[in-house]
Chain A
């Protein structure tokens, strides 16, 4: 079955960077876009961007351009999302999600990675 397994929780200081991984299994990794979605504690969902695992091409939401970088390693079916210049209000859960075959929505999700930013 389709699975997305994310890396574990992180604690970072303000100004630092964090790189979250998302390992895919149960399907052809290069065949489906991977998206990243952010959720602050007790808040809603915010789309950050997506990567085409086949080409490496990316699309970022305007709010995240310049400080988020999405990459992938097809040899290990893993997508990555790096956030730089972390601020205290960047304490959030990051989710990776697979884009569905029939539209730009998300049919499988990772379990989430909590990144805590604290001095």
Chain B
């Protein structure tokens, strides 16, 4: 199975700063079949990005995704207090569909 490793484990930044989250795959994720989810405390995950770089419906443009092959990035251009959450990547190139362990974004 494809193992996804996210880094850093925790990111602590101030409002307005740029957040860069990494997701590295143990083997190439074909056709950029990678998504990002946001999970706020006590809530279900929410789809942010699909196809590595396409924003889901209703997602603000401060969220962007990039990457291909084994290295993918989620960028939050200007952090807002409501971005406090854990962010997960997930690959859908091959079964079993696997998730990274998550990156927690804290707001200073």
Interface residues in chain A, defined as those with a beta carbon under 8 Å from any beta carbon in chain B: 35, 44-47, 59, 61-62, 95, 97, 100, 102-107, 109-112
The tally of residues in B whose CB lies under 8 Å from a CB in A reads 21
Interface of B is mostly: loop
Q: Does B63 lie at the interface of the complex (its beta carbon under 8 Å from any beta carbon of A)? A: no
* Residue of A47, A106, A110 touching B98 (CB-CB under 8 A): A47
Taking the closest CB of chain B, its distance from the CB of A32, in whole angstroms, is 14
Give B5-64 interface residues, CB cut-off 8 Å to A.
33, 35, 37, 44-47, 50-51, 56
B102 contacts chain A at the CB level, 8 A cutoff: yes
Please determine whether B44 and A105 come into contact, CB atoms closer than 8 angstroms.
no
Q: Is B72 an interface residue, CB under 8 A from the partner? A: no
9 example contacts (A-B, Cβ-Cβ < 8 A) are as follows A47-B96, A102-B50, A103-B35, A104-B92, A104-B97, A105-B50, A105-B90, A107-B56, A109-B46
Most chain B C-beta atoms within 10 Å of own C-beta, residue among A47, A110, A112: A47
Docked complex Cα distance between A45 and B88 (Å): 8
Mask for B68-100, Cβ within 8 A of A = 1, else 0? 000000000000000000001010100111111
Interface residue? B101 (CB, 8 A): yes
Instruction: Give B106 Cβ to nearest chain A Cβ, in Å.
Output: 15
Which listed residue, A44, A97, A109, touches B100 by the CB 8 Å rule? A44
Complexed CA–CA distance, A18 and B48 (Å): 31
Residues from chain B with a CB closer than 8 A to the CB of A47 are: 96-99
Which of A46, A59, A100, A104 has the most chain B CB atoms closer than 10 A to its own CB?
A104
